[in-house]
Structure 1
Amino acid sequence: MQQVYGYIRVSTRDQNEERQVIAMREFGVPEENMVIDKQSGKNFARPGYRRLVKKLKPADTLVIKSIDRLGRNYDDVLEQWRLLTKEKQVDIVVLDMPLLDTRKGRDLIGTLISDIVLQLLSYVAQTEREFIHQRQAEGIAAAKARGVKFGRRPKNRPADYEIIKKAWCEGSLSARAASQQLGVTHRTFMKWIGQDNSKC
């Protein structure tokens, strides 16, 4: 018996998949046939997707909201599309792009149009991802040039740091004992010593 499955993906556990779930319901995908992954689309090593592909049989239909829900890597999306439609002989419906519905236009022209649209959309999805990374890198570089510091905020030195440092300099305290008295790690204490212009 032919089955209709819905594949839903959000990039993080904080993102809400409800919009995709509603679209699947409206299409007629049974709740038990909806598969959700809360994972990045950078590759296809996703547990839900892998289980779903194993279930799919010839003439089943796979529904996705948009092409980037399937994946974000141009070459990988094209390879998965080929695997599903050619090898597993599954139909794919992309709700946001009616041209990407392999149930329609099974003739040569229909297949050609579908392939062209798919390649274009996959390319756009990957290019947008690369632009985002580029903008992030440029933003970080610009912020660093303005003197913005990234990473964990440096720990403030306790009020008695200078006294304990002096004791360490005089040899009456070991570095480990000094760090314990200051309530910091040995590494942090030695880092502070290294940052001081006049160590002792």
Structure 2
Amino acid sequence: MYIFGYLRASTNEQDAQRAKSSLKSFVEEKGRRVASWYWENVSGASLKRPELMRLLDDAAPGDAILIEQVDRLSRLNDEDWITLKALIQEKNLKIISLDLPTSHTALSAHINDEFTNAMLRAINNMMLDMLAAIARKDYQDRRRRQKEGIEKAKNEGKFRGRQADLNKHEQIYKLRVINGLSIADTAKLADVSYRTVIRVAQSYKANEPE
């Protein structure tokens, strides 16, 4: 069984490799090693993740995907989560997550008892579904709070000028903060300067409720 580490962060400002050392230490304590690492800066609410797809393509049946938390793998809606699980199950890949202790048995000595194996698979699948649902709800709650922050900023007159400017600000916010595009890509798509992207994104974040 080869172990593939998967690291993800939502935006380019966040360090996708932040958890690499803790994951590496965890595996080494179990007498194993990570065969390869895959990392990317992209939203967990999207299935458009080139590195995750490359990992799934590289992995062989019976291999394992190592993650820090289930939300690194998924903040997907139900339909996309079912799609991703199907891709994982197609190769009978194991998911090992630091926040899911029952998944750690995949690193232990092989369990020959068929019933025990079946029970562990059922428990892990159930827990994965639960944690994925929690991660999705957290994502939706954050989006709701961000929307409320935008409305609050508008109501308090934090953004002045023409309506066209407000629409442009919201476009920048969605591209940069919500979808996690780079400053360069956001500036290009919104047809504004890098400085404007940075200023608007920081302004929205400053008004985001805790």
Q: Please, what TM-score do these two structures have when normalized by structure 2?
A: 0.63
Determine which of 114, 119, 123 is the counterpart of 2:133: 123
Contact 1:5 1:30 in 2 (8 A): no
Contact 1:41 1:69 in 2 (8 A): yes
Q: 1:150/1:78 Cα in 2 relative to 1: closer, same or farther (>3 Å)?
A: farther
Q: 1:55/1:102 Cα in 2 relative to 1: closer, same or farther (>3 Å)?
A: farther
Partner of 1:63: 66
Q: 1:135/1:81 Cα in 2 relative to 1: closer, same or farther (>3 Å)?
A: same
Deviations 1:57-99, CA, capped at 9 Å, x for gaps: 1121111111111121142234323431x31011110112212
Is 59-68 or 99-108 further displaced after alignment? 99-108
Is 3-12 or 94-103 further displaced after alignment? 94-103
Q: Please, what TM-score do these two structures have when normalized by structure 1?
A: 0.66
Q: Distance in 2 between matches of 1:31 and 1:112?
A: 25
Partner of 2:122: 112
Determine which of 109, 124, 142 is the counterpart of 1:132: 142
Q: Specify the structure having the higher radius of gyration (Cα).
A: 1
Partner of 1:195: none
Contact 1:64 1:70 in 2 (8 A): yes
Partner of 2:91: 88
* 1:92 aligned counterpart, secondary structure: strand
- How far off its partner does 1:123 sit? 1.1
Determine which of 98, 101, 108 is the counterpart of 1:98: 101
* 2:120 aligned counterpart, secondary structure: helix
| Structure number with higher helix proportion | 2
Partner of 1:17: 16
Q: 1:58/1:31 Cα in 2 relative to 1: closer, same or farther (>3 Å)?
A: closer
Partner of 1:145: 155
Q: Distance in 2 between matches of 1:150 and 1:118?
A: 45
Q: 1:138/1:90 Cα in 2 relative to 1: closer, same or farther (>3 Å)?
A: same
Ranges in structure 2 where 5+ consecutive residues have no aligned partner? 167-210
Q: How many residues align?
A: 151
The alignment yields a C-alpha RMSD, in angstroms, of: 2.5
Deviations 1:106-161, CA, capped at 9 Å, x for gaps: 533322322221121111111111111111111221222222216859xxxxxxxx
| Identity score, percent | 28
Partner of 1:49: 52
